[in-house]
Amino acid sequence: MPKKVLIVDDEKLIVKGLKFSLEQDDMEVDVAYDGEEALAKAQENKYDIILLDIMLPKLSGLEVCQAIREFSDVPIIMLTAKGDVMDRIMGLDYGADHYMTKPFNILEVKAQIKAMMRRSTGSASEKKSRVIQSGDMKIDCESRRVYISDKEINLTAKEFDVLELLALNPGKVYSRDGLLHTVWGKDYPGDVRTVDVHIRRLREKIEESPSEPRYVHTKWGVGYYFQG
């Protein structure tokens, strides 16, 4: 079945180029040119990935991203102007999984989309019926769902990737650079603040008291580790 992508940008030439290129790779592509249209399409359809520009008419990309996170954990790549570091950090804070800066190389965009889809879904041979149980937390690695006291916790794709990696290796301390390279990939253009933002968001969702975590701990000066 073809992978389904939503491209959201008010620059029609960018949308046209991305759409044509992704369709050459047998992907099914929908487009939206403003935030309201993007949110409506995300509510009506199931996408494998969303490319979302920050600067949009009607609703900003940040507002759209935040709204989508209320009902979906679809991987979201934010598109930002080059050098807008604060926008990128805010994008991650609002629930984005990755960002790319304009102008970008279409081959890099395609490579990143494919990499995120692989990590999000996994191949049939990679999928295993693994369930991690730690206290009140249950992590179903196949369905990519997390439950605490039988209540499902809605995590983004990258939040789940971070939690799964830590939980599969309890007690092992991962440096911020190590997490960045393992979860986001060695070619990811971001920095370790990406990891800090995701850890903070993850704790806000899974910890009863984020400042006194039960599951995801900090080894000061070293990194992060999981302890149930």
Note the pLDDT tens digit of each residue in 69-81: 888 888 999 888 7
- Walk me through the domains of the chain, giving residue ranges and CATH numbers: 4-121 (3.40.50.2300), 131-226 (1.10.10.10)
* Among the ranges given (52-61, 102-111, 156-165, 184-193), the one the predictor scored with the smallest mean pLDDT: 184-193
Q: Name the residue among 152, 155, 171 with its Cα closest to residue 226.
A: 171
Backbone angles phi, psi at 114, to 5 degrees: -65, -40
Specify the residue for token string 């939690």.
163
Who has greater pLDDT, 177 or 82?
A: 177
d(CA 23, CA 73): 23
Mean pLDDT of the chain: 87
d(CA 112, CA 116): 6
pLDDT of 33 > 50? The answer is yes
